[in-house]
Structure 1
Amino acid sequence: MSARSTGAPAGAAAAVTPAPAGRMLVLATVGFLVNFWAWALISPLGSAYRDRLGLTGFQQSVLVAVPVVVGSLGRIPVGALTDRVGARVMFPAVSLATVLPVLYIGLVAESYTSLLVGGFLLGLGGTTFAIGVPLVNAWYPPARRGTALGLFGIGMGGTAISAFTTVRLTDAYGQATPFLVVAVVLVVYAAVAAALLRDAPGRAVPAGGFWRRTWDTARLPATGQLSFLYAVGFGGFVAFSVYLPTYLGNAYGLTPGDAAFRTAGFVVLAVAMRPVGGTLSDRVGAVPVLVVSFAGVAVLAAVA
């Protein structure tokens, strides 16, 4: 969002940024990153699960897709809860809750069905995007929200960390190791967030029930328009990044390690461009940035 879209003077809006905003942005970004790291744990191991359990290509695809679908749909109730109780409560709570499916998949799940159940619950980690966005928005004025949210978006680099480390840790120390590491990181982050994270002063608590607020929001024309753009843009990115290790292995015969490394490169580039896109949106407006981005993606998709 930019000052241009809200009508707020850029200089005036930038001048009222509260002093702790930067610290809250860092805490939110780290929380986003570690939960996305957990959210993406199954994807790099898709080929290993296929070989171990004798899965078909379709079953493997479903396995890596389940956390993505659940994480996407789960953002609606998690976002509503964040409006109600604040990110200070929700970030530690969701981080701790995500520990359970991480440990279940790493230590308990042995069958395809149990992995699907674990993946379903693991989708909770993907809902943290809906916690961080309102937190960051509340701490920053309209003229700086594009840049702030772009920096917050670096947290999706958690999928790159998963791609870089999961297969290597599994090969070196056993299949449970990456899950144990992520569980510890989530617990540490939850403790730090509970101690240091703060909602913006004067945060408004919405009136009315969940269903009423959801319906009122869904009726806004902008909701459908922006949801479509988000589904194609970020939804396409997440789906492709999660499925890419499977695709590279099945279509090109790459080893799990090589496929994961190439996927990490794809994610790192997207992460690096997040702050660039946010800053450009603040300066020239969101629409021109979207037009150029989607046109570029369309051309590259045709090439691929």
Structure 2
Amino acid sequence: MTGAETAPDLKRGQTRNLALATAAFAISFWAWNMIGPLGVRYTEAMGLTSAQKSLLVATPVLVGSLGRIVAGALTDRFGGRVMFTVLMLASAPFVLLVALAGDRDSYGLMLLFGFFLGIAGTTFAVGIPFVNAWYEADRRGFATGVFGAGMGGTALSSFFTPRFVEWFGYNATHVIIAAALVAVAFLVWTTMEDSPAWSPNTDRVVPKLAAALKLPVTWQMSFLYAVAFGGFVAFSTYLPTYLKDVYDFDLTQAGTRTAGFAIAAVIARPIGGVLSDRIGPRAVAATAFAGAAAMAIVVSLQPAPELAAGLSFVAMAAFLGLGTGGVFAWVAARAPKDRVGSVAGIVGAAGGLGGFFPPLVMGATYDEADHSYTTGLLLLCVTAVLALLFTLFGIRRDPREKERGSPASPAPRSARRRDN
């Protein structure tokens, strides 16, 4: 099927399906981040140590990361409509079970149910191949960037979850989010459509994943995404604790400021995708990592609240958001069409794992006497510099990258058809 034949069909469904996928991603990420904004509450109620607190916040990230590998591969076979619906419905009961564990002040049950709550975080690997199939090659940076803005669900969770607990009560808050997951799953099932350009990949999952792991793009983008998205996830989940330890903010104050951090990253992510379509993802990713390294040093100096600290964290979030948009635009440009789901799942898993370890490191390196996380932030700086060097010198240039990175020399129509 030629590009001329598929373009009209794609354009008729693009906007609606991109919006549905982004909404599904956002509510899933809200559920995935239900524990982090209430981490201070759990710490006080259960008398948790710094290490226990870090593990509790990071546990949902683990499953949400590793589960993306399977979710991405299954999306190649069953499509985004089925997978979004199944994963949201599977996540809803664990939102309620987390509330049960919190009611009982049971750390063990919180870890167990928080582990399975990570299912909600796997929807990222569903949405990337889904929206990728709906858009032409020269607009996939835009599409994946807009979809990626659904990670704003973490901002919604950081801002509203503590307030919902104040307004409606602890248990009612979890019931509301579980009901929202079910409602959006119903909306997706009844109104979402897979792209007419998509066709099921019926290869067995394990060989398909093995084939994806053999692609250089998988490992290259996994490292970069682990730094960019991992940094975002780590800050989004651990920032309420950080702000309480360093600046002595209460639960609601810390949640509000964490929401601002997440919103900045959410706004920057589609910008990163659009810029990648225009100047190339390599330039976007390099700018992001350079900026993140610089801001890690600034934040480690503990700038004074509110203006200096606020601007510092917003700048950090913006650079990380640009990086996530740039890296996945790179995935869309380089991954083989029939392997996008598998590659996206593995890269997404790497990003999630990148967010799993930093909270543990931050908890382990916290200087309680000085209320300082300087060591952890300096390690972030070093990691971002390594990612910058790898972006500039460690990835060979693809000829198509030059075409997409230069508005003056667009890809020939025939090449675009092959990319699609």
Classify the TM-score, shorter chain. Answer: over 0.9
- The secondary structure found in structure 2 opposite 1:198 is coil
**Radius of gyration: which is bigger?**
2
How far does residue 163 in structure 1 lie from its aligned partner after superposition? 0.7
Deviates more, 1:60-69 or 1:174-183: 174-183
How far does residue 108 in structure 1 lie from its aligned partner after superposition? 4.6
Match of 2:160? 165
State the alpha-carbon separation in 1 of the partners of residues 49 and 280 from structure 2. Answer: 45
State the alpha-carbon separation in 1 of the partners of residues 214 and 14 from structure 2. Answer: 32
Contact 2:6 2:196 in 1 (8 A): no
State the alpha-carbon separation in 2 of the partners of residues 128 and 80 from structure 1. Answer: 12
State the alpha-carbon separation in 2 of the partners of residues 243 and 275 from structure 1. Answer: 24
Match of 2:58? 65
| Deviations, residues 194-228 of structure 1 (Å, cap 9, x unaligned) | 10111111422224311111111111111100000
Return the match for 1:213 from 205, 208, 215.
208
1:28 aligns to 2:16 (yes or no): no
Match of 1:84? 77
Deviates more, 1:131-140 or 1:178-187: 178-187
State the alpha-carbon separation in 2 of the partners of residues 289 and 90 from structure 1. Answer: 31
Contact 1:13 1:142 in 2 (8 A): no
Contact 1:16 1:141 in 2 (8 A): no
The one-letter amino acid of 1:188's match is: A
State the alpha-carbon separation in 1 of the partners of residues 8 and 276 from structure 2. Answer: 19
State the alpha-carbon separation in 1 of the partners of residues 22 and 273 from structure 2. Answer: 15
State the alpha-carbon separation in 1 of the partners of residues 10 and 196 from structure 2. Answer: 12
How far does residue 57 in structure 1 lie from its aligned partner after superposition? 1.1
Structure-2-length-normalised TM-score: 0.68
Match of 1:119? 114
Contact 1:61 1:246 in 2 (8 A): no
Say if 1:177 and 1:193 are closer, same or farther in 2 by CA, change over 3 A.
Answer: same
The one-letter amino acid of 2:252's match is: G
Contact 1:44 1:167 in 2 (8 A): yes
The one-letter amino acid of 2:259's match is: A
Return the match for 2:48 from 39, 51, 55.
55
State the alpha-carbon separation in 2 of the partners of residues 83 and 294 from structure 1. Answer: 31
| Deviations, residues 153-186 of structure 1 (Å, cap 9, x unaligned) | 1101100111111111112322112211111111
State the alpha-carbon separation in 2 of the partners of residues 227 and 17 from structure 1. Answer: 29
Match of 1:5? none
- The secondary structure found in structure 1 opposite 2:12 is coil
Match of 1:272? 267
State the alpha-carbon separation in 2 of the partners of residues 151 and 223 from structure 1. Answer: 22
Contact 1:14 1:144 in 2 (8 A): no
- The secondary structure found in structure 2 opposite 1:205 is coil
Deviates more, 1:202-211 or 1:130-139: 202-211
Match of 2:199? 204
Structure-1-length-normalised TM-score: 0.93
State the alpha-carbon separation in 2 of the partners of residues 12 and 206 from structure 1. Answer: 22
Deviates more, 1:32-41 or 1:148-157: 148-157
The one-letter amino acid of 1:48's match is: R
Contact 1:14 1:143 in 2 (8 A): no
- The secondary structure found in structure 2 opposite 1:289 is helix
State the alpha-carbon separation in 2 of the partners of residues 168 and 237 from structure 1. Answer: 22
State the alpha-carbon separation in 1 of the partners of residues 79 and 69 from structure 2. Answer: 14
How far does residue 14 in structure 1 lie from its aligned partner after superposition? 7.7
Match of 2:32? 39
State the alpha-carbon separation in 2 of the partners of residues 96 and 16 from structure 1. Answer: 30
Aligned residues: 295
- The secondary structure found in structure 1 opposite 2:193 is coil
Q: Which blocks of at least 5 consecutive residues in structure 2 are unaligned?
A: 300-420
Match of 2:387? none
1:136-151 correspondence runs (5 A): 136-151=131-146
How far does residue 15 in structure 1 lie from its aligned partner after superposition? 7.6
State the alpha-carbon separation in 1 of the partners of residues 8 and 295 from structure 2. Answer: 40
1:97 aligns to 2:90 (yes or no): yes
Question: Relative contact order (alpha carbons < 8 A, sep ≥ 6): 1 or 2 greater?
Answer: 1
Q: Which blocks of at least 5 consecutive residues in structure 1 are unaligned?
A: 1-8
How far does residue 104 in structure 1 lie from its aligned partner after superposition? 0.7
State the alpha-carbon separation in 2 of the partners of residues 14 and 235 from structure 1. Answer: 35
Contact 2:133 2:197 in 1 (8 A): no
How far does residue 118 in structure 1 lie from its aligned partner after superposition? 1.1
How far does residue 16 in structure 1 lie from its aligned partner after superposition? 7.5
State the alpha-carbon separation in 2 of the partners of residues 274 and 13 from structure 1. Answer: 28
State the alpha-carbon separation in 2 of the partners of residues 184 and 100 from structure 1. Answer: 10
